[in-house]
């Protein structure tokens, strides 16, 4: 990509897309095309086709998706599979029809089998049953990977896929009904501190282990892959390190400065026992994450307390 290449970032208003735009701008890219969901509904094929025919982007980073945590995935599975299938099919096909030079599709580590061996290698895809609580979302994301693979196979399209681990960062979703675990913990501890509560309730046992990547590191990896990677295998993006949710809660508690107790609600699901990505392929492209977990949490908490997201 050249600094004046026309790059369409789909989903620029979200946590991931906004980080991608920040990274592109920091590298000197000046011709970035964006549309809000009100301006362009990616679920509607005719709108997507008209946009691509008019704008003719040279490069596409597909960060748009309907996302949520365990509760949202369990409650709205039809919405998760329909919206995500439509978004990726519309964008990927329109990119092909309008001769986009390169496209990056962003998936999720939930594509892998629930009981996959750890750390999870790219080749473990489609080798076992998925985690039930986010099966609809995972199937949609797997379909996006396969779309890129088959458009590459049949048409020679330079379409690549990246599978990030659990993400957190600025512009995250802090709604307790739909958020992921880390922003939910930040909000719970902050509100407990502000309101003088003696305890914070945490879902499950706290024993499952998760890997967390700061979203600006993900964005940097995405632009790096657009500039340097062209393989047909999807690429895991992560830190190569994981932590028990219970230990994560203690870190968030410390960063927030909450002094009460943590109570486990054992009636709530734990989800997948462990989910650590093997990032050997990514590191072979000479990229590695920069932001430590505690440094990232401090940055997000500072942002959270200084902006109206409550």
Q: Is 17 annotated as a binding residue?
A: yes
Active site residue 8: no
Triad 56, 62, 66: Cα angle to 5°: 130
Q: What is the pLDDT of residue 35?
A: 98
Confidence of residue 308 (pLDDT cuts 50, 70, 90): low
Over residues 9-27, the pLDDT tens digits come to: 999 999 999 999 999 999 9
Question: Which residue, 42, 304, 69, 22, is CA-closest to 171?
Answer: 304
Q: Is 238 annotated as a binding residue?
A: no
CATH number of domain containing 18: 3.40.50.720
Name the 3-class secondary structure at 44.
Answer: coil
Which entry of 8, 137, 159, 304 is annotated as an active-site residue?
137
CB atoms within 10 A of CB 227: 11
| 249 occurs within a structural domain | no
Q: Is 141 annotated as a binding residue?
A: yes
- Cα separation of 281 and 249, whole Å? 30
Predicted TM-score (pTM) of the model is 0.93
Q: Is 206 annotated as a binding residue?
A: no
Q: Is 12 annotated as a binding residue?
A: yes
Query: Residue 178: pLDDT above 80?
Result: no
For the chain, the domain total comes to 1
Q: Is 224 annotated as a binding residue?
A: no
| 247 occurs within a structural domain | no
Q: What is the pLDDT of residue 102?
A: 98
Parallel, antiparallel, or unpaired for β 209-210 and 243-244? antiparallel
Q: Is 14 annotated as a binding residue?
A: yes
Average pLDDT value for residue range 87-102 = 98
Record the tokens describing residue 176, joined without a space. 């307790």
Q: What is the mean pLDDT of the chain?
A: 95
Name the 3-class secondary structure at 39.
Answer: coil
First-to-last C-alpha distance (Å) of the chain: 39
Query: Residue 189: pLDDT above 70?
Result: yes
- Cα separation of 15 and 205, whole Å? 28
Handedness of CA 135, 79, 89, 110 (dihedral sign): negative
Record the tokens describing residue 114, joined without a space. 């629930």
Q: Is 180 annotated as a binding residue?
A: yes
Average pLDDT value for residue range 52-76 = 91
Domain ranges, residue 154: 7-172+212-241+276-291
| 73 occurs within a structural domain | yes
| 93 occurs within a structural domain | yes
Q: Is 242 annotated as a binding residue?
A: no
Over residues 45-63, the pLDDT tens digits come to: 999 999 999 999 999 999 9
| 200 occurs within a structural domain | no
Q: Is 16 annotated as a binding residue?
A: yes
| 263 occurs within a structural domain | no
| 25 occurs within a structural domain | yes
Question: Which residue, 289, 280, 288, is CA-closest to 235?
Answer: 280
Over residues 124-159, the pLDDT tens digits come to: 999 999 988 889 999 999 999 999 999 999 999 999
| 140 occurs within a structural domain | yes
Confidence of residue 180 (pLDDT cuts 50, 70, 90): confident
Q: Is 125 annotated as a binding residue?
A: no
Burial class (CB in 10 A: 0-12, 13-18, 19+), 30: exposed
């Amino acid at each position: 990509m050249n600094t004046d290449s026309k790059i369409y970032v789909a989903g620029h208003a979200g946590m991931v897309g906004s980080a991608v735009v920040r990274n592109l701008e920091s590298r000197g890219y000046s011709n970035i095309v964006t549309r809000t969901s009100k301006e362009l509904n990616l679920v509607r094929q005719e709108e997507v086709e008209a946009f691509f025919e008019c704008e003719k982007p040279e490069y596409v980073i597909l960060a748009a998706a309907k996302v949520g945590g365990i509760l949202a995935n369990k409650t709205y599975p039809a919405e998760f599979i329909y919206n995500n299938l439509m978004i990726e099919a519309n964008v990927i096909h329109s990119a092909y029809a309008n001769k986009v030079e390169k496209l990056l599709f962003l998936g999720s580590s939930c594509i892998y089998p629930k009981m996959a061996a750890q750390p999870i290698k790219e080749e473990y895809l489609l080798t076992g049953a998925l985690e039930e609580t986010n099966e609809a979302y995972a199937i949609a994301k797997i379909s996006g990977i396969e779309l890129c693979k088959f458009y590459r196979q049949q048409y020679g399209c330079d379409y690549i896929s990246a599978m990030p681990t659990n993400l957190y960062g600025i512009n995250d979703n802090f709604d307790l009904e739909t958020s992921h675990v880390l922003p939910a913990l930040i909000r719970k501890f902050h509100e407990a501190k502000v309101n003088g509560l003696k305890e914070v309730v945490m879902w499950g046992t706290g024993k499952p282990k998760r890997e967390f990547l700061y979203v600006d590191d993900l964005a940097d990896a995405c632009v790096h892959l657009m500039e340097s990677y062209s393989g047909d295998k999807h690429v895991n993006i992560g830190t190569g390190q994981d932590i028990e949710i219970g230990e994560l809660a203690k870190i968030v508690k410390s960063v927030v400065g909450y002094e009460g107790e943590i109570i486990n609600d054992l009636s709530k699901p734990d989800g997948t026992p462990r989910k650590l990505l093997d990032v050997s392929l990514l590191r072979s492209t000479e990229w590695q994450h920069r932001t430590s977990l505690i440094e990232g949490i401090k940055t997000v908490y500072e942002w959270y307390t200084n902006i109206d997201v409550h």
